[in-house]
Amino acid sequence: METINQQVKQNQIRTWWVLVGFVFLIAVIGFLLGLIFAYQSDPIDLKIPLYTTAGFLIGAAIYTLFVYLSVTNILMKSSNAHQLHESDDPTLFNIVSDLSMAANIPMPDIYLMDEKAPNAFATGRDPEHAAVAVTSGLRQMMNREELEGVLAHEISHIKNYDIRVSSITVALTTFIAGAGAVMIIAGISMIRGGNWMGIFGDRDDDSKDSRYLWIAVLTFGLIVWLGGWIIKIIGVPIAQIMQFAVSRQRESLADVSGVNLTRDPQGLIDALELLKDDATPMKNAEAKGAALYINEPTNKHGKTPFIVKMFDTHPPLDERIARLKRLLGE
């Protein structure tokens, strides 16, 4: 059986493959869009796809760096969480402090989400710039042993650098989605501009250039609009599949790593049992950090957000509980 260190190593290898896949996907999107534009010129200029590919990669790198450096603020705002001070909850700070020392990492910032549903997640770019967030529902529901089990799981995400890959993949996925949205909006604007030119432009027989320009703007706008929808319909789901490619493995590994910190599987087992029996919906189940939660969130209709459920980002709680019970020899 693989040791925890060996599993962490395998996780890191999968992470690099996921990142390579993201770079390849962005390059392909840029190249294909460049081909579309290239075929509008006469003769066809094959340098255009190379320029658009380079542009997409540079844009993705800049955007990813921005998100990577500010991911905690982005996800905490998305989750309606506010930062706590030690005087706000000494017990919570004491638990996180003890676990951080056991994991040999700096103590992360602690946030509280105003949510009745019990849940928690970790984020940041590395152990030196990390944060954990818990909902008010989880804080009220669980005793110290159960809360320690949940927080050990989240601290393990930080120690194992799961938060780094989560930050980067969130950034790359939102970049691809944003590029598609911008192209759809730009295409609509061009189509509207072309229509205005057709209505109010000079349409006399001697104004062929005006009509050609009008048709060109409409055609180009339609191409850009279609390209945006292609990215939205095909590119974004592929990016999300890659984003969640190693999520199940990370969750299972964090359970075992967390138990390694507390030396008490029963605490996390009891916590997961409580989460399994709870059906409280989250007010913000579609938050950007929803796929990072220890338990799949449900909305007011009692359903897991489509994108989280479709790609099965978390192993079933029964499976996770059974795995932990095996550590107890049950």
- Catalytic residue numbers read 154
Binding site annotation covers 85?
no
- Give the chain's length: 330
Helix (H) or strand (E) holding 126: strand 120-126
Report the C-alpha gap between 268 and 322 in whole angstroms: 12
Binding site annotation covers 157?
yes
DSSP lists the bridge partners of residue 134 as 112, 120
Task: Dig out the tokens for 4 from the structure.
Answer: 């925890």
Task: Dig out the tokens for 97 from the structure.
Answer: 């402090």
CB 25 within 8 A of CB 235: yes
Task: Dig out the tokens for 317 from the structure.
Answer: 């709680």
Helix intervals (H) in 133-246: 136-141, 144-159, 162-200, 208-230, 236-243
Binding site annotation covers 153?
yes
Could you identify the residue written with the tokens 């019990």? 118
Angstrom CA distances, 150 to 73, 121, 157, 269, stand at 22, 9, 11, 9
Q: What one-letter code names the amino acid at 240?
A: Q
- Which residue numbers belong to the known binding site for Zn(2+)? 153, 157, 251
- Which residue numbers belong to the known binding site? 153, 157, 251
